[in-house]
Amino acid sequence: MLSLCLVIGLMFAGLTLGPVKATTPAPFTMCEYKGAYYSLGQQWQDGPCDQCYCMSIAANVSICQKSCPTFTFMPSQCKAVTPAGKCCPEVSCESSKKCVYKGKFYNENQTWNDGCDAVCTCVSASTRLVQCRTRCPQFTGIPAGCNLVPPVAGECCSSIHCDGNPVG
């Protein structure tokens, strides 16, 4: 009985009394996963989808989880879809024949304001060409007796007033 306890004690210590095949580690010294052996903390890929790592050699515990990207801040016209035969989702957007500008979709020839900065138009949906121009005129060389007046509430553009009267 003493020799059996000694053998079991040596096995738990990672030691063996007899020859061990080179491909088979001593008990409790590595994680075994699908016939392969991994060191504590070692990571590996199991196929195209799962990232695995050896968590506990004493209990032979390996943890695997999907290694897919996460998608945040997607436009409302988009969603994550997992195609048939794939393990991870891909972004799919309802954007055929639409321009995309700052995460929003616009139809061809549609015009919109980008705040008070610019007026933009979807020129070509097939190439997603968006053209923007400054929304407000840029004034230079203001004549004597005239001044640039800041925009009033609810307006975006400054205006020129000469002798207290708006111009143009």
Q: Which residue has the tokens 């008990």?
A: 27
Task: Identify the pLDDT of residue 3.
Answer: 31
pTM: 0.40
Q: pLDDT tens string for the chain (168 positions)? A: 333 333 333 333 333 333 333 455 556 688 889 999 998 889 988 887 888 889 888 888 888 887 777 777 777 777 888 888 788 888 777 656 788 898 888 988 999 999 999 999 999 888 888 999 998 888 877 888 888 889 888 899 888 888 766 665
β-bridge pairing 50-56 and 61-66: antiparallel
30: closest CA among 15, 41, 40? 40
C-alpha distances out from residue 34 to 38, 52, 56, 106, 160, Å = 11, 12, 16, 51, 78
Q: Any residues with CB less than 8 A from the CB of 38 and at least 6 apart, and which?
A: 30, 31, 32, 44, 53, 54, 62
Domain ranges of the chain: 2-66, 78-134, 144-168
Task: Identify the pLDDT of residue 112.
Answer: 94
